Structure 1
Amino acid sequence: MSLRERESAVRLILERGPVQVPPDLCTAAMRRGGRMLRRRRVARRLLWLVLTVAVVAFFVWALTTRPWVEPPSTTTPPVIDW
Structure 2
Amino acid sequence: MNRAEREATVRRILEQRPPQVPTELYEEAVRRGGRMLRRRTAARRLMWLVLAVAAVAFTVWALTARPWVEPPSQTTPPVTGW
Length-normalised TM-score, structure 1: 0.79
Deviations 1:19-75, CA, capped at 9 Å, x for gaps: 232221221111111011001000000000100010000011011111111111111
Counterpart-to-counterpart distance in 1, 2:56 and 2:14: 61
1:37 to 1:18, Cα distance in 2 relative to 1, 3 A: closer
Corresponding residue for residue 77 of structure 1: 77
- RMSD after superposition: 2.2
Runs of at least 5 residues in structure 2 that lack an aligned partner in the other structure: none
1:49 to 1:18, Cα distance in 2 relative to 1, 3 A: closer
- Identity of aligned pairs, percent? 70
Residue-pair matches, total: 82
Counterpart-to-counterpart distance in 1, 2:17 and 2:24: 21
Length-normalised TM-score, structure 2: 0.79
